[in-house]
Amino acid sequence: MAASEEQPKSPDDISLTPPAPKVEEPAAEEKPAAEPGEGGERAPPARTRKEKPAKAAAASPADEEPVFPTAIYAIKTSIGHEKTVADGIAFKAKREKVEVFSILSPAPMRGYVYLEGVNPDRLSDLVKGVKRARGMVRARGTTDAAASAIPVEEIAHFLEPKPLVSGIVEGNIVEITQGPFKGEKARVIQIDETKEEITVELIEAMISIPITVRGDAVRVLEKEEDSGGEGAEA
């Protein structure tokens, strides 16, 4: 008997729902890295270990600038040019920005001016090159400028205001230091303490003419007792 043909399936065996087609999922595409401005965020850069800055080496005591107290120092000058040196130092200190608090040029102290400052080494360098200045006065036996400071007590009497005619009496021989008669010798014949003026007569003039000058415009050469004593011996 021939092979039996395949019998048709009964309606109960037939499924009315067609088989679901097999859908292959596409391979996931790699998204390109978002560029700035497209809404994407750039991946943070890899962190690197930052090196700590090396600590500055501590300054050695030799590199630190020494600290000096405010003090007064004497500057030797050419005699008769004290005020010229004082003006020159003041001008140079302002130009080079050196701390000079005061400059004293007392009339009785010839050949010296006094500086008040902090750093004696800078003051010593400041004086160099000033016309008619001879340099800072150093203490004997030492090259340390700080050891050459002048005690205030030694110049305190210069700081007290005195009348211009102080120390001048009638009969003194004086030298006129200012005005048209500068360098002439004269004898004091009258003193006006109120106006701080003196009246003198020129010694070498052919005609004795009284001249009135300020008390700070003369320098006493001979006291009255000195001139009187010389006359008695003569």
User: pLDDT tens, 132-149?
Assistant: 999 888 877 666 767 788
Residues of the chain short of pLDDT 50, as ranges, are 1-3, 37, 226-234
Positions of CATH 2.30.30.30 in the chain: 173-233
The answer to whether 174 and 168 have CB atoms below 8 angstroms apart is: yes
Q: Which two tokens stand for residue 101?
A: 């608090």
Q: What pTM was estimated for this model as a whole?
A: 0.48
- The share of the chain scoring above pLDDT 70, in percent, equals 65
Check residue 228 and give its pLDDT. 47
Positions of CATH 3.30.70.940 in the chain: 71-159
Residue 28 CB coordination number (10 Å)? 6
Residue type, 225: E
Residue 182 CB coordination number (10 Å)? 10
172 to 61, 76, 187, 198, 208: CA distances (angstroms): 60, 29, 6, 11, 16
Check residue 28 and give its pLDDT. 55
Topology given in CATH for the domain delimited by 173-233 = SH3 type barrels. (2.30.30)
Topology given in CATH for the domain delimited by 71-159 = Alpha-Beta Plaits (3.30.70)
